[in-house]
Amino acid sequence: MTATLIWIVVALVAIGLYLSWTAGRLDRLHARIDATRAALDAQLVRRASVTQELATSGVLDPAASIVLYEAAHAARQAEEEQREVAESELSQALRAVFAEPDQVEAVREAPGGESAAHELTETVRRVPMARRFHNDAVGAARRLRQHRKVRWFRLAGHAPFPMAFEMDDEPPAALVERAA
């Protein structure tokens, strides 16, 4: 009787340790999601800021300046529910303005244009990476949360179900090609 009771206690302790380890892992994944979301937000804000600076610098023609400024302003002011759409529209505006290598060259030849083009190139390259890191973290947390043990023992607590950030983040080809 005593040996059976000891084995039951050992099994319960082992199960408890395993569930505790899984809950800790899930907590670390949620913390990673928060960190990658903050990094993604920082890159998106930086991209919109650089775009607005470029649009107001007088380097671009007036029509391109208006298109970029309005798209960047909309991306910075968007509510959370509309953020993905606004950021996608900014990506589309950047591709429309910088569709031709001639436009990129015109920006680079203007006073201060070389640094502005370089900064914009860096920001449009970083956004897809930041989004990919965020979505990878979301995918890992989703896969873990789908396990029965996590659902049955409610190891996720009251944490909201993680959502991926889906947007059009393809950089303008002429801008990226020139920098490569």
Those residues of the chain that have pLDDT short of 50 are none
Distance of CA 124 to the CA centre of its chain: 12
* pLDDT value for 73: 97
* pLDDT value for 132: 98
* pLDDT value for 58: 87
CA atoms within 13 A of residue 135's CA, in its CB half-sphere: 10
What pTM did the predictor assign? Answer: 0.90
The DSSP letter of residue 78 is -
Task: Please name the amino acid found at residue 93.
Answer: A
Measured CA to CA, the distance from residue 84 to residue 25 in angstroms comes to: 28
Q: What is the dihedral of CA 9, 12, 17, 19, to 10 degrees?
A: -170
